[in-house]
Amino acid sequence: NQNVEVGQGNLKLLYSEEGMKMSRFLSTSNEVTAEQSYAYYIGSNGTDKDPQASGAYVFRPDGERPIKSEGEAQLTIVRGPLFDEVHQELNSWISQITRVYKGKDHAEIEFTVGPIPVDDDISKEVITKLTTTMKTNGTFYTDSNGRDFIKRVRDFRTDWDLQVYQPVAGNYYPINLGIYMQDKTSELSVLVDRAVGGSSLENGQIELMLHRRMRHDDIRGVGEVLNETVCLPDGCKGLTIKGKFYVQIDKPGEGAKWRRTFGQQIYSPLLLAFTEQEGDNWI
């Protein structure tokens, strides 16, 4: 029941019983708060009447379940001169480290997801959501293979009349660089370090799909269930994935520079090479 605040700059991370929130004051009267959560979509198994199952090619969710932390969630907070970071273990298969760097306005979230349990025979497609009170009117923006950010409107296409059969999958887009949304007072941008799926299915909300583990093949050509494993001497288990996404809150129109410059840096990481030297025999 302890509330904890992390971050010494413009961006604050607030931890409470309700979970993690990011908060940024854009002016004295304009504070934007984004709440982070995890959930999974239940992959469709297909039915007699409608045999199409969710699989490697086909994303066909059959409901969504929130992922709440199991029992007493452990939170480790490390504060230092360069950055503060918070280690969170939501359950035995989801954990994350959130970092706030000194002098930077964004949060870095390093997620670790897996092995996704499938003992219950349910296909799971794990997502993380950022929820705000922004009034986005069904509009959000996603990159086009790393190039221009293109306007997306929920349940709408500019060049044909869209019949919505899949309200979730029909609004999902590939995210290679990032996704953002804005209203009259603020803009929330999310950049990724790998290709993921993403959408904004409710106003003021952004979600990313981080990992999937299926129980059925979608019969679209692979002929094998999407169920990646790692095999150790004592048996095989589901794949664990580890990646990062970055979140920044700006005034409207001010996030573009960050998305371009920081996005370039994400995809051109500093390269480290190591060697040894004798004492101060400087090479």
Binding site residues, another protein, CB under 8 A: 1-2, 4, 15-20, 56-57, 69, 71-83, 85, 87-89, 95, 97, 101, 112, 195, 212, 221-224, 226-233, 240, 242, 261, 264-265, 268, 270-283
Distance CA 206, CA 185 (A): 17
Residue among 89 and 105 whose Cβ is closer to another protein: 89
Give the nearest distance from C-beta 245 to another protein in angstroms. Answer: 14
Give the nearest distance from C-beta 120 to another protein in angstroms. Answer: 21
Q: Measure Cα distances from 242 to 116, 193, 237, 265 in Å.
A: 13, 10, 16, 19
Residue among 48 and 280 whose Cβ is closer to another protein: 280
Distance CA 40, CA 64 (A): 6
Residue among 43 and 182 whose Cβ is closer to another protein: 43
Give the nearest distance from C-beta 128 to another protein in angstroms. Answer: 16
Residue among 30 and 76 whose Cβ is closer to another protein: 76
Give the nearest distance from C-beta 25 to another protein in angstroms. Answer: 23
DSSP state of 259: H
Strand intervals (E) in 132-266? 139-143, 149-153, 173-175, 178-182, 187-192, 196-199, 205-213, 229-232, 235-238, 241-250
> For residues 149 and 142, is the Cβ–Cβ distance under 8 A?
yes
Residue among 82 and 161 whose Cβ is closer to another protein: 82
Classify burial at 26, counting beta carbons within 10 Å of its beta carbon; exposed 0-12, middle 13-18, buried 19 or more: middle
Give the nearest distance from C-beta 246 to another protein in angstroms. Answer: 13
